[in-house]
Structure 1
Amino acid sequence: MTAPDLKAVDAWWRAANYLSAAQIYLQDNPLLDRPLAPEDIKRRLLGHWGTTPGLTFCMAHANRAILAHDRDLLFIAGPGHGGPAVMAGAWLDGSLGERDPRKGWTEEGMRKLFHEFSFPGGVPSHAAAAVPGSIHEGGELGYSLAHATGAAFDNPGLTVMCVVGDGEAETGALATSWHSHRFLRPGRDGNVLPILHLNGYRIAAPTILGRMEDAEIDALFRGYGWAPIFVEGDDPAQMHRDMAAAVDACLGTGDDDRPPMIVLRSPKGWTGPETVDGDPVEGTAAAHQVPLKVPREEGPHLRQLEDWLRSYGADALFPGGVPSGEVRSVMPAGDRRLGATPFADGGRLTRPLDLPDAGDFAVDLPSPGAEQTGATGVLGEWLAELMRRNPETFRLFGPDETKSNKLSAVFDVTDRMAPGPVEATDDHLSPEGRVMEVLSEHLCEGWLEGYLLTGRHGLFNSYEAFIHIIASMANQHIKWMREAGNTGWRAPIPSLNWLLSSHVWRQDHNGFTHQDPGFMNHLAAKGADMVRLYLPPDANSLLAVAETVFASRDRANCIVAGKQPEPQWLTLDAARAHLQRGFGIWDWAADDPDPEVVVASAGDVPTMEALAAVDLLRDLVPDLRLRFVNVVDLMALQPPSQNAERATDEAFAAAFGTDAPVVFNFHGYPGLIHELAYRRAGHERFHVHGYAEKGTTTTPFNMAAMNEIDRFSIALDVLDRSGRTDGRVDAARKHCHEMLERQHAHSHEHGDDLPEVANWRWSRG
């Protein structure tokens, strides 16, 4: 750097450090134009200083790099609670004031910036959705590098600078993310520039990487495939020169075709108080949060705080509350600003998908139950066409389960992305592949989230039991979307979509460890305005759901569908209409206007077993008055007070009745149905069968019987709820018990289900 460049970058850094520290401490006197008084200090001092000066240092050099290299750059602040730095940057480049005029370039704008940080009605201490330029909150550590990689996919002109804290680097998700560069293809994708920031400490103790020697770190990251460049020290002038040289080198090419990265060693709490009350602070864990506890009274701590804040030279940096010309000279303009880049507001870049007509892939169904097919196999054909039509804006993610979940048709259009050399024996593997497979649910979810947050579309397919691995990531993303919607300026982004297959009801060889439908419970608590839970009962219903979720915005859509051949119930037109309602009567199955019992279902296997129970009862007790209801959109069970977009109370009563007991056969934990429907009138009539945490390696029917969602258990409950006590009912009960005993004995002797159970078909038209 030239001397003027160095001076300007340092001025920006000092300005950002002042703004960051002042956010933690000040509620008034933002320009220090009078001596600091106790009433200028916040009553509650909240925030994190330790990581902030390292982040602002990196942001200063990100700004310089945008100008020097004339390129788009997205900045991701990985360390937890780095919000003050990102807020400071957004205020300095004017993007915050553009979105919230109260925080513009004035003394009052600075006061608002400081006052609302970590304050009721304000912003939290991490880079939340309300912070321009952010796609990564950092409230939960471990996902920054995966988000950065997802953002770089299909963005060939973009550089994503991702700062990884050394505490964050201790998480399993982040450790695995160092492999992500192997899935970036030059020319098609952008670049990710990781900056491993080693300030040595977590909140209370030293970090693993912070205590490692440079030679160890170099060997570690060269083993990961990176080419590390070290920037170390505490002298600002020398550090600026070294950092500028490192960034310039990284935006060129790495050695031996390795992508470059930077290892930045700087003191924790750099430029803050060196000691407090004689104890060391800068460069120790004591700098992590609020390094100087200032009581709201006159005393040495108040004067030490004033000396610290004045050390940055705020009067020269912010004349009249406006960043100085020197500070502004290293800030990009327009959409190149870190806080204004459209890559951090992905809805601005989103293009709707070119969706295939599901009618071209629908199962031709002359009558209910007349065909057998696997739902996900049909969806795979539709997804293949979707990927053919959208070669730059859609990717499929999954932990090595694309083929297992019967989505193999996509390989007629694209391959798996090769993370290295391709061998002759590899199956559908190439550097051009758009199916992103890696045996880490964390990476799949993080990549997809980064891809969505920058305006593209995707699907994560997984085994149902193991999607729990990313439950907290899903939680963070849903909360992000909710907060983004509350900003008033972020554009809606494509929805987060999961397809869960290999589900709880088919464990022919995996067993009890592979059974857990509880992800739906986790999501349901987030609210119907953000979440949809879809349980399509057949292939055409799954196609109808796919059309809906890939056109939606700002939602988390969870689809649970089996991959095994099963009876098909609805034509595509009927499936679309059924999905529009969320639930409804299947009049071809049973539709008595005055039912003694309503039989309901949600999920493919529970629906088949419930229909088999209805079929059985109509043979054994022909005059028993029944109605059959299926639920495809689980959140539609909530009343309008909780889900304004779905069924009215009148529609609910028209389907489920008002007096008759409801025997509900459900895919997941029974309590979820009660949780969703408890505010509906007559909810106490619901008697739910579902997963009862019982399982093993067994036949399909035995799995259902173990948890009492099988046809005979449902029929027995219907008979009990009907209140009938005549001879035919007694005979029907006896038949059901005998069939359960026969099935159990047969399966344990022969290893499969009774032929009359396995080969059952609906044949009533």
Structure 2
Amino acid sequence: MKKKTSAPRLLGDSQLAQIDAWWRAANYLSVGQIYLLDNPLLREPLLPDHIKPRLLGHWGTTPGLNFIYAHLNRAIMQRDLDTIYVMGPGHGGPGPVAASWLEGTYTETYPDITQDADGMRRLFRQFSFPGGIPSHVAPETPGSIHEGGELGYALSHAYGAAFDNPDLIVAAVVGDGEAETGPLAASWQSNKFVDPARDGTVLPILHLNGYKIANPTVLARITPEELDHLLRGYGHTPFYVEGDDPTQMHHDFARALDACLDAIHEIKARARDGDVRRPLWPMIVLRSPKGWTGPKVVDGKKVEGSWRSHQVPFTQAREDDEHRAILEEWMRSYRPEELFDSDGAPIEAIATLHPDGDRRMSANPHSNGGILLRGLRMPDFRDHAVAVSSPGTTTGESTRVLGGLLRDVMLANMENFRVFAPDENNSNRLDAVLEATDRAWNAATVADDDHLAVDGRVMEILSEHTLQGWLEGYLLTGRHGFFSCYEGFIHIVDSMFNQHAKWLTTTNRIPWRRPVASLNYLLTSHVWRQDNNGFSHQDPGFIDHVVNKKPDVIRVYLPPDANTLLSVADHCLRSRQYVNVIIAGKQPQLQFLTMEQAIEHCTKGIGIWEWASSDDGQEPDIVMACAGDVPTMETLAAVMILKSHFPDLRIRVVNVVDLMRLKDDRAHPHGLSDQDFDALFTTHAPVVFAYHGYPTLIHRLTYRRANHANLHVHGYQEEGTTTTPFDMCVLNEIDRFHLAINAIDLIPRLRDISGHAREELRNALIRHHVYIREHGQDLPEIREWTWSQDGGGAPLTDDRPR
């Protein structure tokens, strides 16, 4: 049953009056932002010209957000708490803007928005207005780490912020519409990954106001008993506050909040005494009317307490006298003459209901994480180098090598670095990191469990959404992380990546937002090595999704072997304000570059592999280009085939590590100039390009180039099944035989002399097809292929015993 809170009153009369005045002031400022261009203090009757011509914003959730903010301020001041505020209903943007203006932070951040009547007018005018600020909680809002468009991620962001911040309390408001999303439902499990001694605390506040845009919400319509069972099942002790009478609600919420903070204090004290068992963490359920304190009825239809208050409760205040009268009555109901002095500044009672300096939620350094960011103590990645005596003759597991580097990074940064993976850390060959730390886990364990501990720093839960949210919250509060995932499943977080990339793009234009550590993805178990799982696991399209974003925040790397992967990873872990996407296979593969060569190649991002080329600085007959580990191997094998048949052929091999080098320098900071691009690819030689992903992306990146018409791209064609590794390449025509045939067909002087070679290559494809269906594995000459400088190697026709 519910835990009752409407018992004796907690607040004294003066304290109640102060909190209520602050709340009314915040509500008044919120309504003004949605509706007003001028006359901010209603010193004269409202006229049509005082109203914005386009009314945009969300009122319905805003008074609840303001109510919670006022009470959190009271608690922070009384208890000297370090607290940030994550608003899941982020479209209630007027609220936190109003709060930061009342706290003085907004004026400190934007000096032209002064705390007076003229500043209030500017505050109102800029909201949802050209040249102004968005209608939701955005990077422009002081105190925010949670974008208003990120429905479903409030709790995961909050827990990410709390990890490794032992004294931080993150008040996380979950909207009841948001509570219906899959990401939010999974993120309730985050409390099973918290170390009560070392981590901070998330205080969830489930705000049930009953409606979404046009429909009721599920959690507001189930029985109180069912809701209580659900929340307790999630691992919480809920405290309930419900009603619509402001006075009683103030007392009840204050009691519930104090009970939660007392419980948190006790849990933390026990944990610091050595008891790190998972507690039942407190939470609050606030049930209040949607659009609380707004107009009850407009045009004969219910507004307060209904879905009609979700956005702008009525939209004709400029044109309709009756609507304008309703607006004026609504705003005057907050009694602004009691809240603001003759200059328009908040009265003392309001101006003092917030903590000082960094304790203000709108000024807390954790909400501007770059202020707190410390660079990682980076080991020398060269210590993990794979010995390469000759290109393409030895094998190694590139991501396993990377795991050793990540282990050493973890050992050197046990307070501000974590790795994240959806139950795939070991599968992705990064298990060396478990030599430094365990997996975070604060639920039951049994004897056969592997590397589970309350203080573990490897974050694994089978929810990409939750992991991404944790990582984003961790990064935005000033820490570092690394996220590995199967390539085919990273699309699950497409929308979350979108919002994070947009956040970075926006903060690049906000001087007071300090740079944060980059969001680093490793995509492995990739399309060319998902032959065992089949078609459902094959999708390299995340790259296409990423490159749609602004070039100042995205980077894509395709290291062809272990040493280049080490160099790329070191660079990404040191970087700021980017989303770095690294694609690298986890299976044993040939290694091509020494560490010195890898560093040089990665620094350039693209280059000619002289050791694989035969053009000797002359104009090539063909350029064989590649990006990705498997495409690189198949390209080199095709080059050997061509050399064996046409020894005098002038072949240039170009390998791409940094995909953005293909763009021109006018479109991306990493892009090559036309002169540099032409020096690599020539202006008219045919180019056969083997690419890791969808071929159309390479054409998109290079469409401005002089030689684009001669670019022939091989990549993933949505062909795949459970088959052999090489057959995956054959099905998508990225294999050595198809690449070689394509090259032969593009070189004019081979047209009349290539018949026998083409025939042999076609026969090889047929023999491959027959062999794998009989033996279940690739041909020996495919499995055993290594690079040879002279173009030799295993013959195309092989009569060795099978």
Superposition TM-score, scaled by structure 1 size: 0.99
2:763 to 715, 738, 746: 738
1:57 to 39, 47, 67: 67
* 1:569 has 2:579 as partner: no
Q: Which amino acid aligns with 2:630?
A: V
| Aligned match of 1:700 | 725
| Aligned match of 1:420 | 443
Q: What is the deviation of 1:71? A: 1.2
Q: Which amino acid aligns with 1:482?
A: T
* 1:371 has 2:381 as partner: no
Q: Which amino acid aligns with 1:395?
A: R
Correspondence 1:27-106 to 2 at 5 A: 27-106=37-116
Q: What is the deviation of 1:257? A: 2.9
Q: What is the deviation of 1:304? A: 1.5
Correspondence 1:671-682 to 2 at 5 A: 671-682=696-707
Q: Which amino acid aligns with 1:284?
A: S
Q: Distance in 2 between matches of 1:479 and 1:528?
A: 11
Q: Distance in 2 between matches of 1:494 and 1:535?
A: 21
Q: What is the DSSP-based 3-state SS (H/G/I as helix, E as strand, rest coil) of the residue aligned with 2:56?
A: coil
Q: What is the DSSP-based 3-state SS (H/G/I as helix, E as strand, rest coil) of the residue aligned with 1:21?
A: helix
Q: What is the deviation of 1:80? A: 4.2
Q: What is the deviation of 1:481? A: 0.8
* Contact 1:159/1:192 (8 A) holds in 2: yes
Correspondence 1:568-647 to 2 at 5 A: 568-592=591-615, 593-647=618-672
Q: Distance in 2 between matches of 1:715 and 1:257?
A: 63
* Contact 1:582/1:647 (8 A) holds in 2: no
Q: What is the deviation of 1:123? A: 1.0
Question: Larger deviation: 141-150 or 90-99?
Answer: 90-99
| Aligned match of 1:652 | 677
Paired positions, count: 765
* 1:355 has 2:416 as partner: no
Q: Distance in 1 between matches of 2:666 and 2:496?
A: 28
Q: What is the DSSP-based 3-state SS (H/G/I as helix, E as strand, rest coil) of the residue aligned with 1:505?
A: helix
* Contact 1:461/1:501 (8 A) holds in 2: yes
* Contact 1:620/1:728 (8 A) holds in 2: no
Q: Distance in 2 between matches of 1:296 and 1:227?
A: 47
Question: Larger deviation: 723-732 or 79-88?
Answer: 723-732
Q: What is the deviation of 1:725? A: 4.0
Q: Distance in 1 between matches of 2:601 and 2:704?
A: 23
Q: What is the deviation of 1:726? A: 6.0
2:221 to 211, 219, 229: 211
| Aligned match of 1:432 | 455
* Contact 1:518/1:668 (8 A) holds in 2: yes
| Aligned match of 1:327 | 350
| Aligned match of 2:271 | none
CA deviation string 1:520-579 (max 9, x = no partner): 000011132111110000000000101110111110000000001111111122112111
Q: What is the deviation of 1:658? A: 1.4
Change in CA separation of 1:305 and 1:620 when aligned onto 2, cut-off 3 Å? same
Correspondence 1:397-412 to 2 at 5 A: 397-412=420-435
Correspondence 1:539-578 to 2 at 5 A: 539-578=562-601
Q: Distance in 1 between matches of 2:297 and 2:131?
A: 33
Q: Distance in 2 between matches of 1:653 and 1:152?
A: 50
Q: What is the DSSP-based 3-state SS (H/G/I as helix, E as strand, rest coil) of the residue aligned with 1:499?
A: strand
| Aligned match of 1:449 | 472
* Contact 2:744/2:751 (8 A) holds in 1: no
* Identity fraction in percent: 56
Q: Which amino acid aligns with 2:103?
A: D
Q: What is the deviation of 1:140? A: 3.1
Q: What is the DSSP-based 3-state SS (H/G/I as helix, E as strand, rest coil) of the residue aligned with 1:273?
A: coil
CA deviation string 1:427-480 (max 9, x = no partner): 111111100000000001010000001010101100000000000100000001
Q: Which amino acid aligns with 1:656?
A: F
Q: What is the deviation of 1:728? A: 4.8
Q: Distance in 2 between matches of 1:749 and 1:370?
A: 28
1:290 to 312, 319, 338: 312
Q: Distance in 1 between matches of 2:54 and 2:95?
A: 19
Q: Distance in 1 between matches of 2:750 and 2:56?
A: 68
* 1:157 has 2:167 as partner: yes
* 1:278 has 2:303 as partner: no
Q: Distance in 2 between matches of 1:135 and 1:30?
A: 29
User: Any unmatched runs of 5+ in structure 1?
Assistant: none
Change in CA separation of 1:298 and 1:753 when aligned onto 2, cut-off 3 Å? closer
* Contact 1:708/1:714 (8 A) holds in 2: yes
Q: What is the DSSP-based 3-state SS (H/G/I as helix, E as strand, rest coil) of the residue aligned with 1:487?
A: coil
Q: What is the deviation of 1:727? A: 6.4
| Aligned match of 1:527 | 550
| Aligned match of 1:393 | 416
Question: Larger deviation: 653-662 or 253-262?
Answer: 253-262
| Aligned match of 1:224 | 234
| Aligned match of 1:493 | 516
| Aligned match of 1:258 | 280
| Aligned match of 2:334 | 312
Q: Which amino acid aligns with 2:68?
A: C
Q: Which amino acid aligns with 1:761?
A: T
CA deviation string 1:118-177 (max 9, x = no partner): 111111111000000001012131001100000000000100000010001010110111
Q: What is the deviation of 1:397? A: 0.5
Q: Which amino acid aligns with 1:52?
A: T
Q: What is the deviation of 1:730? A: 1.5
Question: Larger deviation: 724-733 or 131-140?
Answer: 724-733
CA deviation string 1:679-727 (max 9, x = no partner): 2222121100000000000111100000000001000000001123466
| Aligned match of 2:125 | 115
Q: What is the DSSP-based 3-state SS (H/G/I as helix, E as strand, rest coil) of the residue aligned with 2:112?
A: helix
Q: Distance in 1 between matches of 2:359 and 2:671?
A: 42
Q: What is the DSSP-based 3-state SS (H/G/I as helix, E as strand, rest coil) of the residue aligned with 2:749?
A: coil
Question: Larger deviation: 142-151 or 102-111?
Answer: 102-111
| Aligned match of 1:11 | 21
Q: Which amino acid aligns with 2:313?
A: P
Q: Distance in 2 between matches of 1:214 and 1:327?
A: 36
Q: What is the DSSP-based 3-state SS (H/G/I as helix, E as strand, rest coil) of the residue aligned with 2:239?
A: strand
* 1:729 has 2:754 as partner: yes
CA deviation string 1:257-315 (max 9, x = no partner): 31000000000100000111222111011111111233324622211211110111212
* Contact 2:505/2:550 (8 A) holds in 1: no
Q: Which amino acid aligns with 1:540?
A: N
Q: What is the DSSP-based 3-state SS (H/G/I as helix, E as strand, rest coil) of the residue aligned with 2:564?
A: helix
| Aligned match of 2:800 | none
* 1:244 has 2:266 as partner: no
CA deviation string 1:394-413 (max 9, x = no partner): 10111000010100101111
Q: What is the DSSP-based 3-state SS (H/G/I as helix, E as strand, rest coil) of the residue aligned with 1:304?
A: helix
* Contact 1:155/1:188 (8 A) holds in 2: yes
Question: What's the Cα RMSD here?
Answer: 1.2
Superposition TM-score, scaled by structure 2 size: 0.94
Q: What is the deviation of 1:508? A: 3.7
Q: Distance in 1 between matches of 2:392 and 2:344?
A: 72
User: Any unmatched runs of 5+ in structure 2?
Assistant: 1-10, 268-277, 791-802
Q: Distance in 2 between matches of 1:569 and 1:298?
A: 74
Q: Distance in 2 between matches of 1:528 and 1:272?
A: 43
Change in CA separation of 1:268 and 1:730 when aligned onto 2, cut-off 3 Å? same
Q: Which amino acid aligns with 1:123?
A: I
Q: Distance in 1 between matches of 2:104 and 2:80?
A: 20
1:468 to 466, 485, 491: 491
Q: Distance in 1 between matches of 2:584 and 2:770?
A: 30
Q: What is the deviation of 1:753? A: 0.6
Q: Distance in 2 between matches of 1:560 and 1:298?
A: 58
Q: Which amino acid aligns with 1:570?
A: L
Q: Distance in 1 between matches of 2:670 and 2:730?
A: 36
Q: What is the DSSP-based 3-state SS (H/G/I as helix, E as strand, rest coil) of the residue aligned with 1:257?
A: coil
